[in-house]
Amino acid sequence: MSGGEPVELVDGEHVVARGSAKTTWFVRQGEGWVRAAEWGGAELERRASGPGTVWEQAIRLSLPEGTELLRVESRPVLPPTRDPLSYLENDVCTTPRATRRIVFRVLRGGRLARTGASPD
């Protein structure tokens, strides 16, 4: 890793009520986003899974100051309250999920500054 600020990000999946919460990081490339784990020169380190952790992976990158990063967090939410008989009428196999997107910018020394929510 050379030519930029050292940055460490963590992708992972953790057990929460009604399922699991997932965190995935992306790096801005032109008008789109590339998964940080797939970024050229990324060093990946699989971490041990402790209680409540499905999996976790450290991603070390070297990025120019000012590079935008996107953290996508997805977690289960409470389904809307329904009439007990509606469960017989509809086949609902998945838990609804809420997704939050937060944009960061790389600062000197590899620190991250939150610049806003949802780039969409």
SS3 109: helix
Which H or E run contains 105?
A: strand 97-106
Six-digit token pair at 44?
A: 């990946």
pTM exceeding 0.95? no
One digit per residue, the tens of pLDDT, for the chain of length 120 reads 457 999 999 999 999 988 899 999 999 999 999 999 999 999 999 998 889 999 999 999 999 999 999 999 999 987 777 777 666 666 656 678 899 999 999 999 999 999 976 655
* Alpha carbons 104 and 113: distance in angstroms, whole number: 5
Options 2.60.120, 2.60.40, 3.90.1070, 3.40.50; CATH for 5-75+92-117 is 2.60.40
If you ran DSSP here, which 8-state letter would residue 110 be given? G
| pLDDT for the residue 81 | 72
User: What's the pLDDT score for residue 24?
Assistant: 97
Ordered by start, the domain boundaries in the chain are 5-75+92-117
Instruction: Tell me the helices (H) and strands (E) count for the chain, helix number first.
Output: 1, 8
Q: What pLDDT is recorded for position 120?
A: 54
> What was the pLDDT predicted at 116?
73
How far apart are alpha carbons 91 and 55 in whole angstroms?
30
